Structure 1
């Protein structure tokens, strides 16, 4: 694809490392990137402000760049002025660096080119120049084996070998903790995180993951599908960058259709959706040369800024309606699955997939024939349906012992009120009846899934200092529900924050408990009747003395109250607990 010349070429002193390379195959180092923004901030202090925004695991700080036409860098003041906030984050995977270079160029052009100043009249732009500072410092030329340039780049993992685009909910890294504080500070209307794809070969330079509309509040999902996405696709087409939804086939070729990406809250756009922020991950195509990938990213970010300004009122209306709808919402989805009964149709520009013998194994291998391009209609499955839901409680009660969880909740906007005295109250608790655990570590955790719960209403005593989180209209309700309900895909239970309750701390010696169990059954005919019924229904159980003894123990007063009991309680009362 032929690149259109820049409308106004920058002066030599303001060219980025990417622009200074005639081959267009160089991305800035971390030091070059930060120094460039510092230079901009010094030269244009009324329009561009740069500050440190918290630590990262590398030991170097995260940075925040704010562009505002009136120089206002205060989020509260910005909201009072009814300005939209566009938050752009780059370098979460520093081996995918297009956004780093494109944002440097865009920030410069916004302050240097008078005809672009109008783009900032109603929109404040917040840029994180490099999110994964750690990975950007780990520069190499080999780890992105599937990618066509640049000559050298950063590494996907951070200093703790974490993929930060799986860390938005659990926040193991200092990077994620600093990001959360920055995100909560700005509460952006639109969030963009720049990426490069992996996967199939096709004609497009730019593909796009948008927040899954089925997961957004209805007002936001309708606005996204009906107004925002059509404008973005049209704008990119006009800039000579035809765009397609992120290419994710079932298989490697499009015959069975494109499938929309399900971004749960571990991912940036899934996290943003919990706070009624529409998120985007533009994904340039890995096999295109680096220069067109940077220019496509630049034009996407510019198109986004143009569109947010043009649709400012519609965005504000949709977010206000989403907030009002959430205030009245009583049931929330926790997990999702693709609805294959519904699909759209897109005109997809691809290359024919063929096979030939592998030079390595001699076996058939896939390749894409660039001599055989095609444009044809392809099914696009872009609707998800909930598979689990939870009713909204009045409040969650979290014992003060779970300090790590409490810290994460506070960092993400939750208000936690400590009990002033011991309180005994009826609450809903969950017993963890069954779950599956991944056999291998995933991002430092062994994930739980397929969680089966047994809810029970019990009278529980909570102690002075235990924390109550009320789900008021001002609370981050959806965030709280999707982290504190164990069945949610990315709940704190799923990530293993409560694993210690899954192990018994006391048990019995069978030869001692045999007599205790026999006495329990004599004194409780109903318990004995349940046992006999189970033995009749399950012959294997009926012939297993140890299993029967365990069953009696688990259904007796001797069972540990805390074993397999999820420690976060749901309070369904009114007013304030204990009042």
Structure 2
């Protein structure tokens, strides 16, 4: 009998062991508890956050800022010291606001699990007590909630864990990181309302990259200086290159600028800018006059390494903000002033498209050895990496951009009231406007568009306008009562320009919201056009000469009876009165604007 006592005692200790471990660290996150093999469901994520908010009521606040198409709540977490948990209190305390978002692509979910650990260590364990001494964190643990819950082990073929991850699109199959400008998704509308409520000073967006294999556990991207207000470009350069990324590497990591290889089959050919724009998170922050940072963990590193890398890089960026909060606040203030005064400069314009700077800079890529084999299967080159063999490559970097096409900045834009989709987007983005109360005729600058071409297949539920020839002219324009007037003498001028100008690649025109203006609605019978053509040539010998020259130079035209007659119809008032290709949004100068106020 006495011989059995030690065995019973041992069994009792074993039974109590999980309780003892939990008592020692009650704040272990679900990902940590699984040794980073899994990532928690949305319900488990919310439960952890709710428990944290209950434990730190003056430091952590949870709120719902929207509802997904499938009816799930969209949760945001506010974290701050001294009870500064509202926009008003944050501003009164002189604290910059950092918007940190995870799971816009839910298969790339490190930001969620790293965020839980950061909030835990700030508010509960005391490991990072000074994380938010001088800043307020607005944290979205999962942006695309429906996509997050559409979890599957086969959603990301390139990725090393976790066991299951969410789907790239939300439940309507929209990619939220292409939706910032067009704002089709309910999630985007909710996000825009959150942005307009908080007006953050810095947006950090967490992703996981695809592509080549290399030694870095994090790559990062910030918009080119030519896309930014000068104060934001200066702040970002000092914050990221000058401080946060070196501090991150001192924690035992490797970081590099975003690696967009010119040829994925041969890394030695160099890297280039991936071509961000306002449809993307950091591109949208730029046209809102704010700093942005894209974090891309490396998909082939283990999930634990990726989460811990995210934890450390966000910690390093917040440490920089904490060191000099006034600098970020001043950069935001100066950026808004810069945007509001752009239209006051004679002949003011702003670049809306960008091209690669032909001058490259040297870059030492910390990669791995790789082989290139001609594949009998695909007929292409099969690249295979050897992660056991580190190798550095001296390559060239073409990340820098130069301005390309520019758009003029008017005193105001005028949108006739029937174009409700465009006006609805103004409301979604929070762009201020007024309406005319009576019809008015003004001289305005109008764009006439010809030779449109559209994408061959849909993109994000739209057939995008790929290219169009634009000719601008001053015209007398009749504006009906209720016309929307969007002034450019405010901080939203750059945002409005990118939404409303025909030249902007992410404008509402390019996304297809004005495709109807290219459609001819009235047509002429061939027998009638035969008579019209002869009458027009008799009245205008130069037109006859132009027609005959086109017959000689354009075989397809000469072979088409319809094209021959259309040549005359399109030069007649029966066609021009239809205003085919006339962009309905017009630009007003200061004199025209003064007549309708």
Please state which band the TM-score falls in when normalised by the shorter chain. Answer: over 0.9
Map of 1:423 onto structure 2: 440
| Counterpart secondary structure, 2:129 | helix
Structure 2: gaps spanning 5 or more residues: 1-21, 343-347
Distance change in 2, residues 1:139/1:540 (3 Å)? closer
| Counterpart secondary structure, 1:117 | coil
Q: Alpha-carbon deviations, 1:198-247, whole Å to 9, x = none?
A: 00001111111222333112232233224432212111111111201122
| Residue pairs, 1:450-461, within 5 angstroms | 450-461=467-478
Q: 1:296 aligns with which of 294, 297, 309?
A: 309
Q: 2:453 aligns with which of 429, 433, 436?
A: 436
Q: 1:564 aligns with which of 581, 591, 594?
A: 581
| Counterpart secondary structure, 2:111 | helix
| Counterpart secondary structure, 1:425 | strand
Say if 2:77 and 2:138, in contact at 8 Å, map to a contact too: yes
Map of 1:345 onto structure 2: 362
Q: 2:494 aligns with which of 478, 482, 486?
A: 478
Does 1:228 find its partner at 2:240?
Answer: yes
Say if 1:356 and 1:366, in contact at 8 Å, map to a contact too: yes
| Residue pairs, 1:366-515, within 5 angstroms | 366-474=383-491, 476-515=492-531
CA RMSD between the two structures: 2.2
How many residue pairs match? The answer is: 568
Between structure 1 and structure 2, the one with the greater Rg is 2
| Counterpart secondary structure, 1:315 | helix
Shift of 1:452: 1.3
CA distance in 2, matches of 1:260, 1:113: 41
TM-score under structure 1 length normalisation: 0.93
| Counterpart secondary structure, 2:65 | strand
CA distance in 1, matches of 2:84, 2:420: 36
Q: Alpha-carbon deviations, 1:338-382, whole Å to 9, x = none?
A: 1122x3333321012213475966975210122321134332222
Map of 1:281 onto structure 2: 294
CA distance in 2, matches of 1:39, 1:424: 62
Say if 1:484 and 1:493, in contact at 8 Å, map to a contact too: yes
Shift of 1:11: 4.9
| Counterpart secondary structure, 2:143 | coil
Q: 1:323 aligns with which of 319, 330, 336?
A: 336
Map of 1:38 onto structure 2: 50
CA distance in 1, matches of 2:144, 2:580: 39
CA distance in 1, matches of 2:137, 2:166: 25
Shift of 1:538: 5.3
Say if 2:521 and 2:578, in contact at 8 Å, map to a contact too: no
CA distance in 1, matches of 2:86, 2:457: 44
| Counterpart secondary structure, 1:120 | coil
Say if 2:436 and 2:481, in contact at 8 Å, map to a contact too: yes
Does 1:189 find its partner at 2:186?
Answer: no
| Counterpart secondary structure, 2:170 | coil
Map of 1:58 onto structure 2: 70
Q: Alpha-carbon deviations, 1:44-83, whole Å to 9, x = none?
A: 1101111110122221121121112122233244224321
Shift of 1:280: 1.4
| Residue pairs, 1:152-163, within 5 angstroms | 152-163=164-175
CA distance in 2, matches of 1:266, 1:233: 26
Map of 1:4 onto structure 2: none
More displaced, 9-18 or 211-220? 9-18
Map of 2:224 onto structure 1: 212
More displaced, 296-305 or 110-119? 110-119
CA distance in 2, matches of 1:520, 1:355: 65
Q: Alpha-carbon deviations, 1:415-439, whole Å to 9, x = none?
A: 1211101111111111111232111
CA distance in 2, matches of 1:156, 1:403: 30
Structure 1: gaps spanning 5 or more residues: 1-8
| Residue pairs, 1:129-208, within 5 angstroms | 129-208=141-220
